[in-house]
């Protein structure tokens, strides 16, 4: 609902009606939502656990995961809350909570790539969405997910946009928008504007409030070890990990989640410089800061007690807890004037957010203005579009294949027809399984024989006389209902999952059985072979390159990923995705990034060329030609113009990342920096001039008195000398 001018007065009236315990209760989000309700007769009722929590606090601040369904929650299509039941359950919870204090509860849900609830649209994971290099598409898909959340009575969407893929050993790499801060910042803004509307216009209507996670530098954790120390200087923190945070603030994000990790020894949940001085005082953030799950209690290693952990997090700038006990002890500190004042400040922030949704005492929450079923239909359509845009063709090989010539296809590998491997982490089970890659090929070629080989021997035997062989390799984030989980939901058991939260790896090579399959196929099979790498992190793909196979990278592309892959293999679509990370040639060379300050080539004596595929790699079947690059100084900065031409008989899409390198200052420059993306659809034979303007602060080196600039697009470079941003000398190639 639109922000109203008397919101401060309404918040103060609500605050005045709450005693200290109730105010502390507004800051707590301890209860696992799926345990708050239970089926009763022909409907639902508040569970005993839910009742105890409401009675303890005389209300509730927020409730996490009311609709969550997955292996950790144990909720399935048999015992979970179905889409048509969501409105009833949300209304029940609101009525019960309002009875205690008159104030409703904020319902928060996981939505990193779709609502993690039964029947919700599942989008490709953020790493796959980043490969599209298409912010407009990400904005549209985010809006569709937000509409589903709002139609269900949800207020807060927890969305991963702030992490960078700085070490591919990290299991949560799939939650990142790649390794580059510019790309991640653009996508962060797209997510916020999609879910909240421009200038927060859709919050409470067709949109929800976004809680961006994780703040900050979690992707920098040493060795890719989840939640551990990020050893990083202030400059790299500012240049790499904070641009997404600032982009979120500027876009109007209403929430941030403080991460597990520490930065140079200071845990994020105890980092007042980060949560208050930077976020609020410097950037003007006016929303809430939520702690990650149980992160407040982890401060006990610093403070020595749970109670002191809660106090430290509160005074550092955390407003809302998540599952922890630390904030539940704040009501024991009523005689501490500093704590009382901080509780009031945080409570006002929570109540102000509730006012946006009509949850305060004198208000009634407005009915959602979107239909859940319609929003799910729209979301599924957008999931298909993102899946198609996310596929990256790394090696063309014999692709595309002509469907008319394919009568016998063999699909081999551990994920040959495994639909769960396409989905990624943080997803609910599907009511009807989506087609895996083998099934999608069979649907695309109903008259052909598509056979699945269970091992290398079967693949070689079946390939004899076949027309083509597809290897489906990589990994999976699938959590089985029999797996063991940590207290925060991360995978704890040794299970089938090879990616996702709780699955950090020391070795990025494809598993031994997959490497053996590649070797035996390359030695024994003479038919065309294409490898599809289904993955949520960079793997070492060197064996595939050495075998000369076509390679399609598919970053957990969602339930429509099988169909999207089939379309690429059969030439029904030309891939436009670009690699959002640097692919290593071997495990021992990581971490490795395109924007490092030093070149890693010729350093390791046993791996002189560590990069297998550079950041931004990718090609299509119908790529337009780049004829020239021109760089022109302007008052606002520098204009980059690229002339492109399509020599093809059908429409084609140009996708060209724009890189720069800056010299002349007092800081060692990065080897290159992504500063923009040029994209357009060209008609057959069409010439287009694609351009963008780079602002002056994006092209001048820090403290530069005689700056130089190099612009790189495709295989073209242009250098500028900018003494005083005047009398600029230009060279192009």
Q: Note the pLDDT of residue 172.
A: 94
Q: Which of 466, 618, 565 is nearest to 130 (CA)?
A: 618
pLDDT tens track for 608-646: 999 999 999 999 999 999 999 999 888 778 899 999 999
Indicate whether 73 pLDDT > 90: yes
How many Cα atoms within 13 Å fall on the side-chain side of residue 123? 36
Q: Which of 417, 415, 435, 419 is nearest to 427 (CA)?
A: 419
Average pLDDT rounded to a whole number, residues 237-243 = 95
Compute φ and ψ for 66, nearest 5 degrees: -55, -40
Residue 704 — pLDDT band, cuts 50, 70, 90? low
Distance of CA 545 to the CA centre of its chain: 28
Indicate whether 700 pLDDT > 80: no
Q: Which of 502, 516, 507 is nearest to 473 (CA)?
A: 516
Indicate whether 722 pLDDT > 70: no
**CB contact set of 116 (below 8 Å; sequence gap of 6+):** 65, 67, 68, 69, 70, 109, 110, 426, 427, 428
Q: String of b and e for 21-39 (b: at least 16 CB within 10 Å)?
A: ebbbbbbbbbbbbbbbbee
Residues forming beta bridges with residue 104, ordered by sequence position: none
Residue 727 — pLDDT band, cuts 50, 70, 90? very low
CB atoms within 10 A of CB 485: 18
Residue 723 — pLDDT band, cuts 50, 70, 90? very low
Indicate whether 122 pLDDT > 70: yes
CATH number for the region 7-358 comes to 3.20.20.300
Matching residue, tokens 């599942």: 122
Residue 731 — pLDDT band, cuts 50, 70, 90? very low
Indicate whether 424 pLDDT > 80: yes
Q: Note the pLDDT of residue 637.
A: 82
Indicate whether 729 pLDDT > 50: no
Average pLDDT, the chain: 92
E strands of 592-636, at which residues?
A: 611-613, 625-634
Its sign, for the CA torsion 194, 178, 123, 30, is: negative
DSSP readout, 324-353?
Answer: -STGGGGGGGTT-HHHHHHHHHHHHHHHHH
Q: String of b and e for 167-188 (b: at least 16 CB within 10 Å)?
A: bbbbbbbbbbbbbbbbbbbbbb
Average pLDDT rounded to a whole number, residues 202-218 = 94
Residues forming beta bridges with residue 639, ordered by sequence position: 632, 693
Tokens, residue 276: 């208050």
**CB contact set of 97 (below 8 Å; sequence gap of 6+):** 54, 59, 60, 103, 104, 105
Average pLDDT rounded to a whole number, residues 438-463 = 94
- Rounded Cα distance between 197 and 190, Å, is 10
Average pLDDT rounded to a whole number, residues 308-330 = 96
Q: Which of 227, 286, 226 is nearest to 255 (CA)?
A: 286
Q: String of b and e for 314-327 (b: at least 16 CB within 10 Å)?
A: bebbbbbbbbbbbb
Q: Does domain 387-587+604-613 have CATH number 3.10.440.10?
A: no
pLDDT tens track for 149-181: 999 999 999 999 999 999 999 999 999 999 999
Parallel/antiparallel/unpaired status of strands 262-263 and 156-160: unpaired
Domain boundaries, the chain: 7-358, 387-587+604-613, 625-732
Q: Note the pLDDT of residue 730.
A: 44
pLDDT tens track for 509-556: 999 999 999 999 999 999 999 999 999 999 999 999 999 999 999 999
| H/E run at residue 566 | helix 561-569
Please answer whether residues 96 and 59 qualify as being in contact, where contact means their C-beta atoms are separated by less than 8 angstroms: no
Distances (CA, A) of 29 to 64, 134, 354, 548: 7, 35, 14, 53
Parallel/antiparallel/unpaired status of strands 708-713 and 288-291: unpaired
Tokens, residue 243: 């641009």
Indicate whether 99 pLDDT > 60: yes
**CB contact set of 29 (below 8 Å; sequence gap of 6+):** 61, 62, 63, 64, 108, 290, 320, 321, 322, 323
Q: Note the pLDDT of residue 489.
A: 82
Given phi > 0 = left and psi -120 to 50 = alpha, else beta, which region is 114? left
Q: Note the pLDDT of residue 491.
A: 78
Residues forming beta bridges with residue 682, ordered by sequence position: 652
**CB contact set of 631 (below 8 Å; sequence gap of 6+):** 638, 639, 640, 641, 709, 711, 718, 720, 730, 732
Please answer whether residues 35 and 50 qualify as being in contact, where contact means their C-beta atoms are separated by less than 8 angstroms: yes
Q: The domain 625-732 is classified under which CATH number: 2.60.120.260, 2.40.160.60, 2.40.240.20, 2.60.40.10?
A: 2.60.40.10
Q: String of b and e for 134-157 (b: at least 16 CB within 10 Å)?
A: bbebbbbbbbbbbbbbbbbbbbbb
The percentage of residues in the chain with a pLDDT greater than 70, rounded to a whole number, is: 97
- Rounded Cα distance between 546 and 543, Å, is 5
Q: Which of 126, 144, 236 is nearest to 187 (CA)?
A: 126
Residue 420 — pLDDT band, cuts 50, 70, 90? very high
pLDDT tens track for 83-95: 999 999 999 999 9
Q: Note the pLDDT of residue 595.
A: 96
Q: Note the pLDDT of residue 724.
A: 47
Q: Note the pLDDT of residue 389.
A: 97
pLDDT tens track for 355-365: 999 999 767 77
Average pLDDT rounded to a whole number, residues 675-701 = 89
DSSP readout, 705-716?
Answer: SS-EEEEEETTE
């Amino acid at each position: 609902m639109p922000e109203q001018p008397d919101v401060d007065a309404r918040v103060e009236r609500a605050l005045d009606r709450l005693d200290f315990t109730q105010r502390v209760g507004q800051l707590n989000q301890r209860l696992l939502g799926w345990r708050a309700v239970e089926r009763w007769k022909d409907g639902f009722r508040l569970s005993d656990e839910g009742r105890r929590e409401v009675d303890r606090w005389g209300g509730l601040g927020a409730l996490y995961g009311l609709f969550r369904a997955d292996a950790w929650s144990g909720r399935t299509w048999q015992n979970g809350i179905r889409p048509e039941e969501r409105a009833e359950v949300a209304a029940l919870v609101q009525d019960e909570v309002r009875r205690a204090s008159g104030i409703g509860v904020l319902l928060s849900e996981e939505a990193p790539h779709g609502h993690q609830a039964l029947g919700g649209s599942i989008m490709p994971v953020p790493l796959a969405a980043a490969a599209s290099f298409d912010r407009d598409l990400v904005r549209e898909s985010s809006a569709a997910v937000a509409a589903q959340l709002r139609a269900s009575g949800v207020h807060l969407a927890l969305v991963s946009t702030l992490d960078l893929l700085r070490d591919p050993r990290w299991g949560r790499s799939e939650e990142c928008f790649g390794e580059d801060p510019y790309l991640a910042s653009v996508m962060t803004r797209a997510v916020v504007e999609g879910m909240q509307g421009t200038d927060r216009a859709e919050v409470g209507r067709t949109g929800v409030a976004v809680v961006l996670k994780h703040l900050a530098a979690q992707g920098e954790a040493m060795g890719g070890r989840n939640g551990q120390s990020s050893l990083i200087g202030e400059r790299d923190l500012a240049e790499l990990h904070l641009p997404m945070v600032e982009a979120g603030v500027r876009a109007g994000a209403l929430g941030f989640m403080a991460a597990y990790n520490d930065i140079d020894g200071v845990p994020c949940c105890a980092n007042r410089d980060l949560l208050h001085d930077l976020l609020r005082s410097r950037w003007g953030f006016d929303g809430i800061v939520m702690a990650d799950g149980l992160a407040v209690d982890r401060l006990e290693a610093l403070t020595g007690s749970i109670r002191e952990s809660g106090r430290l997090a509160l005074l550092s700038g955390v407003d809302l807890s998540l599952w922890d006990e630390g904030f539940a002890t704040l009501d024991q500190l009523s005689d501490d004037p500093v704590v009382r004042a901080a509780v009031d400040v945080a409570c006002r922030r929570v109540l102000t957010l509730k006012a946006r949704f009509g949850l305060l005492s004198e208000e009634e929450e407005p009915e959602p203005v979107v239909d859940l079923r319609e929003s799910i239909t729209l979301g599924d359509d957008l999931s298909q579009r993102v899946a198609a845009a996310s596929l990256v063709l790394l090696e063309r090989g014999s692709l595309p294949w002509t469907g008319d010539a394919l009568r016998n296809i063999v699909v081999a590998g551990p994920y040959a027809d495994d639909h769960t491997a396409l989905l990624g982490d943080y997803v609910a089970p599907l009511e009807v399984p989506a087609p895996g890659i083998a099934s999608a090929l069979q649907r695309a070629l109903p008259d052909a024989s598509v056979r699945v080989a269970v091992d290398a021997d079967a693949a070689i035997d079946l390939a004899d006389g076949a027309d083509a062989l597809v290897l489906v390799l990589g990994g999976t984030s699938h959590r089985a209902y029999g797996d063991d989980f940590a207290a925060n939901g991360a995978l704890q058991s040794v299970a089938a999952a090879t990616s996702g939260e709780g699955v950090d790896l020391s070795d990025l090579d494809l598993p031994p059985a997959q490497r053996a399959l590649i070797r035996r196929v390359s030695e024994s099979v003479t038919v065309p072979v294409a490898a599809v790498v289904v993955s949520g992190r960079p793997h070492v793909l060197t064996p595939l390159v050495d075998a000369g196979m076509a390679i399609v990278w598919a970053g957990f592309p969602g339930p429509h990923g099988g169909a999207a892959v089939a379309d690429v293999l059969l030439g029904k679509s030309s891939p436009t995705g670009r690699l959002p990370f640097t692919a290593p040639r071997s495990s021992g060379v990581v971490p490795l990034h395109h924007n490092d300050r030093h070149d890693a080539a010729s350093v390791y004596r046993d791996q002189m060329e560590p990069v297998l595929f550079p950041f931004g790699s990718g090609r299509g079947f119908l790529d337009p030609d780049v004829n020239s690059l021109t760089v022109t100084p302007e008052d606002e900065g520098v204009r980059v113009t690229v002339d492109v031409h399509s020599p093809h008989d059908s429409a084609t899409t140009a996708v060209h990342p724009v890189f720069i390198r800056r010299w002349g200052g007092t800081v060692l420059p990065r080897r290159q920096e992504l500063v923009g993306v040029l994209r357009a659809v060209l008609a057959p034979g069409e010439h287009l001039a694609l351009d963008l303007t780079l602002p002056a602060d994006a092209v001048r080196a820090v403290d530069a008195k005689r700056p130089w600039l190099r612009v790189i697009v495709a295989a073209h470079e242009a250098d500028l000398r900018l003494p005083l941003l005047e009398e600029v000398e230009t060279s192009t190639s």
